[in-house]
Amino acid sequence: MAAEVTDWGARLRGSDGYASGPYVLSELRRVIVAGQVRPGENLPVDQIAAVFQVSSIPVREALKTLIGEGLVRHQPRGGYTVTVLNGPELRELYLVRGALEATAIEAATAAATEADDLLADETHRDLMAAIEADDVHRYQSLSRAFHEVLLAPCGMPRLLHMLKLVADLTEPSQAMGLLTPEQRAELQTDHTRMLDAFRQRDGLQLSAAARAHHGKLTAYIDESRNSRGDISAS
């Protein structure tokens, strides 16, 4: 038991003082979305509560919220687990992500500023460094961050919120780790094209590049599914 508590302590950031319910929720969401808790892995209420030094009540409340978001599932007498998505479900979510991005991307390009360009450049450089280091986990998180940087100026907070909820659902599967290094490099070439169009304020070109990028990604996910079967389970 002690070893398991220590393991959760290494993943979750405990609080120096009182761990509020919202803090417990945000920490659990963070480690799930970051892929630190794999799909299908158990979420032991008592051990998690021990990390935060709280009763089981705020942990259970947080898990109920995550069930509502689709990140966690609960089985009677089976406890809580991180949601496992099968191949078609994961592909569908990436298609939804692409559709939501397409809705906002031209507006974001038109409203972007030099500060947005600088942030996009920095994130793109970090992505290149992750590719060169073969750091798949970092590439996964930075790839999402890059897309979010391009969309941030759109002025559509509700759409961005919906996109975040959908993106959160895809992240635990760590799809970039399912791809070959060559496929990740091709996706990074797409990112370069997207960055160039963004800096040129060419919304039509950026929209076309983004559609091609999402089409390529979903095709790669299908290919991985066909060769590996259930690609989302730990």
Answer yes or no: is 233 within a domain: no
Q: Which residues are bridge partners to 42 per DSSP? A: 81
CATH of residue 179's domain is 1.20.120.530
Domain shared by 110 and 189, yes or no: yes
Domain shared by 103 and 196, yes or no: yes
What's the domain count of the chain?
2
* Cβ neighbours of residue 75 closer than 8 Å, sequence gap 6 or more: 81
Is 90 exceeded by the pLDDT of residue 100?
Answer: yes
Name the percent of the chain lying above pLDDT 90: 68
Choose the final residue of a domain: 21, 48, 82. Answer: 82
42: helix, strand or coil:
strand
Q: How far is CA 112 from the centre of its chain?
A: 23
Helical segments of 114-202, H only: 114-132, 136-151, 157-170, 181-199
Dihedral of alpha carbons 138, 140, 145, 147, sign: positive
Domain, as residue range, for 222: 87-228
pLDDT tens per residue, range 12-69:
887 766 789 889 999 999 999 999 999 999 999 999 999 999 999 999 999 999 999 9
- Provide the pLDDT confidence category of residue 228 given band limits of 50, 70 and 90: low
How many C-beta atoms lie closer than 10 Å to residue 233's C-beta?
A: 14
Domain shared by 132 and 214, yes or no: yes
Domain shared by 9 and 108, yes or no: no
Domain shared by 78 and 186, yes or no: no
d(CA 9, CA 1): 12
- Provide the pLDDT confidence category of residue 142 given band limits of 50, 70 and 90: very high
* Rg over CA atoms, the chain: 19
Tell which residue, 70, 48, 43, has the closest CA to residue 58. Answer: 48
Q: Is the pTM of this model over 0.75?
A: yes
Answer yes or no: is 234 within a domain: no
CATH of residue 18's domain is 1.10.10.10
Scan for tokens 């280091």, then name that residue.
133
Is 60 exceeded by the pLDDT of residue 141?
Answer: yes
Q: What are phi and psi of 12, to 5 degrees?
A: -95, 145
Domain shared by 214 and 148, yes or no: yes
Domain shared by 29 and 110, yes or no: no
Domain shared by 127 and 164, yes or no: yes
Domain shared by 119 and 182, yes or no: yes
Q: Where are the beta strands (DSSP E) in 10-138?
A: 72-75, 79-82
